[in-house]
Structure 1
Amino acid sequence: MVGTYGGYGLAAADPVAAPANASEAVQRMIDLSRQSEQMNQQALNAQADLDAKAATAATADQRAADAAATLDAAKAEIRRYQPVIERAATSALLGSRSNRLTSLLVSNSPQQLLDQMSIVDLVGARTNEQLGQYQKATDAAAAAEAGARAAADAARAASVAADKVRSDLEAKRAALQGSMAQVIAAWGQLSAGDKSALAGSMFPPGFDRDSLLEGLVPGSGTSALAAGLTRVGDPYVWGATGPDQFDCSGLVQWAFHQVGKNVPRTSQQQAGYGTPVDQQDLQPGDVVFFYSDISHVGIYAGNGLMLHASTFGVPVQVAPLGWSPFHSARRF
């Protein structure tokens, strides 16, 4: 039977009620942990989406501010040329504009005539130039106003989008917190023997870490695997990225960060990083993904094994690849 918590499916079994037997208790723990891991990755994806949209909103806000400043500057330029326009309009209205005939009639000598005609030409050219600049300033102001309006609209839209994702993130986090509480309650019902059986061994029988890592190439997937293997035994913690506690994608991100690769945070994001690899072509250091929603990830360790942080109550360990339904693989 499955119910809902915060809009997400959760096992409806009461974790406080005593399980019928040890097997049922362990299975309940596994089921609840699996659901919590899914929610953890969903919350991480929502956080990444929020970060991206918040950055978009900040960029849009800055563009809106820049556009507003451009508009103010364009309006100031219009005001600078406004007196010229008003004088030209007044002169045309009163018919008092100087011309070459007026210069000829009032000149007392040829030299004075040439001087006055030059002044008239200069005033006309300067006025025409200023009128042209005024037109450019007006056009620039119109363009700036349209740009400012568009930038403001984009900023508002980006803000609304970020708010929606923020609300979604809060719902996912609330659901995760509720699921985690159920997992911890179920864990508390297990006997010491059940807890030990659930945790299992850190390495499968016959696993030889030293021979696996012989000839590893610095900065490669095998060197990331080597870094990850140093964390075997560290606890699984939802949302943790190291250095001494991890969730599944946090371990992968941490391991590759040690060899200089900035791998995305979530399992779904990591599934789009690097290049695809067919399952039959897996090499140690390749990254393997599980479940149809890509909610689990590990690092291939060769011979059908992988390094992963699986779930609450189970430390980082090397386990069979068939631990979960295989989805895909990538080479970072």
Structure 2
Amino acid sequence: MPDAILQVRDLTMTFGASAGGLLSKPAPGFVAVDTVSFDVRRGETFGIVGESGSGKTTLGRCIMRVLDPSGGSIRFQPREGDPVELADAPPPQLRSVWRKLRMVFQDPQASLNPRLRVIDVVGQSLQKSEGLKGKALADRVGGLLEAVGLRPEFMQRYPNAFSGGQRQRLGIARALATNPELVVADEAVSALDVSIQAQTLNLLQDLQEEFALTYLFIAHDLAVVEHICDRVAVMYRGQFVEVADTDTLFRTPRHPYTRALLEAVPVADPRKRRRGAGTAGEPVDTGATPQGCRFSPRCPHATDLCRQTRPPARRVEGADVLCHYAGEI
């Protein structure tokens, strides 16, 4: 894809694998991310949604290189300069890339050092990368605080003096400090009240236009994803089971898991609730991996083909779907 800022190919993350030894057997480990491939276009918001345990946060951490992936390629293309292969980039190269690739975390309280004043929390990266201090640092931090809807004089306070929504704005300001191009937002609004969620989502959209940002938006709340994302990938047991633009996915979901997620979304008017066959069984099981389709133990449409053969990705009316019967259900 010529306008892609991020290209991920066959990304895999396995925990606990072992080659075995003289007195131990090889251990296959748990595959949290299984040969995932996708592109993120510059300027868009690409959403990744799924239940807890689906692998979406692990995927985000691999892209940020908080975790070292077990295999695959992560190609980051900045506006200026050559593309960078993040999957095996050495630490010195990663440090320079991290200025253009930033993260907003789920828990704003845990992600902010309570012993540092706001000027140091937000401006820490500016102090290290640009050597800013004194009035120059205060001016930059003050501008960032204004950009996220906070007053510049707040920079002398400590994070505990702020509400949860304000602390998340501080986290966003910190992410913007180095003028990034791609921001990975990992459940960035899930810890906030519904009214504060809406304000934060609107802020993120305004900042995207102002700072020319691209978002990789990880969430479990479909209502949030529908509000902010241009395209959505639905993740289940380490795989993308459906990828489509937001309108297509919410209007005509093709994978049974996507349909089940949408049917579970509460709506104000019960007459408008999506009706379907639902799912069987329990949420994501991190135990033994099914031989065929990962979703087959819970799928109401599963056949012997589904249970025995891994489905190929199929293109069905604008969606890439990992299902044998995507065009028929």
TM-score range, shorter chain: under 0.3
What is the TM-score when the length of structure 1 is the normalising length? 0.23
Which one has the largest radius of gyration? Answer: 1
Q: Which has the higher helix share?
A: 1
What is the TM-score when the length of structure 2 is the normalising length? 0.23
